[in-house]
Amino acid sequence: MPFSDYTKALVTGASGGIGAAIVERFRREGLEVHAVARSREPLEALAARTNCVPHVIDVTDTAALAELAAKVPFDILVNNAGVDTPRKLLDAREADIDLLVDVNLRAVLHLCRLIVPGMAARDRGHVINVSSIAGNYNFGGNSTYHATKAAVAMLSNQLRLDTFGRRVRVTEICPGRVATDIFAHVHGDTPEVRARFIDGFELPEAADIAEAVAFAVAAPRAMNIGHMEITPTLQVMGGLQTARPGDPRT
C-alpha cells in the first residue's frame, strides 16, 4: 500500500525532532496529518509551516485520544512520543516508572486499541512504532526505558498476528543515536551534554529517520517492512565489560 492508498495519519510526539520530521515528510505526500503533542507553541509553529492539523494533547490523556480517534478514520498511526529518565532499577523512583510506562507503553497500547480495529475493518492501514535500539540491546542506567521499549517491540510483532488476514502493516523503527534535542531534554541543555552526545559525531538527522518511515510506508502493497534498526555508521551495540568485585559502578 503506497502513499496513494492512504489519506489520514496521526503522529504523536510531533512538536519536534523525529515526530515533526515525520509530519513534514507525510505532508509532502499530500496526507492529512494530525499532529499530537503537549507543547502548544512548537506544535502551532509546525502547523503554520506544514498545514498539518495540530492537537495539543498529552498522550497519557486516554479520553482525549479516544475522542480524536472516534472522529477521524486514520490510515496511518505513528506512535512516536516517548520519554526517558535514566536510572538503574536500584535507584528508580515511583514517579519515573509510572511516567515511562504511561507514555512509552500505555499510550501506545491505547492508541492501537482505538485505531487498529478500524484499519482491520477497512482492510487498510499502517502502524509505525518509533521505538529504540534499547528494546533489543542493553546499556546501563535505563532499566525502565529498556523494559518499555522491549514491550513495544513485542507489541509490534503481536499486532501482525492480531490483524492476520487484513492488510494492516506494522513497522517498528529502532533508532540508535540521532542528532535531536532528546539528549537536552533528558540530561539538560548544556555544552557538556552536547559534547557527550552530539558534537563531533557523525549522526543521522531526524529527517533521515522520517525518510526511513516513508520508505516503509511507500513499500509495495504486498510487502510489510516489520523492523528497521537505524544507527550511525560508527555506532555498534554490545561489547565485553567485566567489573571487579567491589567496583562502585556495579
Positions annotated as catalytic residues are 145
Q: Which helix (H) or strand (E) holds 122?
A: helix 107-122
Amino acid at 161: L
Close Cβ partners of 159 (under 8 Å, ≥ 6 residues apart): 112, 116, 127, 168, 170
User: How far is the C-alpha of 128 from the C-alpha of 11, rounded, in Å?
Assistant: 9
Quick check: helix, strand or coil at residue 175? Answer: strand
Phi, psi of 34, deg, nearest 5: -100, 120
53-56, strands of its sheet edge to edge: 53-56, 32-37, 8-12, 76-79, 125-130, 168-175, 227-230
Find the helix or strand (DSSP H, E) in which 173 lies: strand 168-175
HSE (side-chain half, CA atoms, 13 Å) at 124? 13
Task: Please name the residues in contact with 110: beta carbons below 8 A apart, sequence gap of 6 or more.
Answer: 62, 65, 66
Exposed e or buried b for every residue in 134-151, given b needs 16+ CB within 10 A? bbbeeeeebbbbbbbbbb
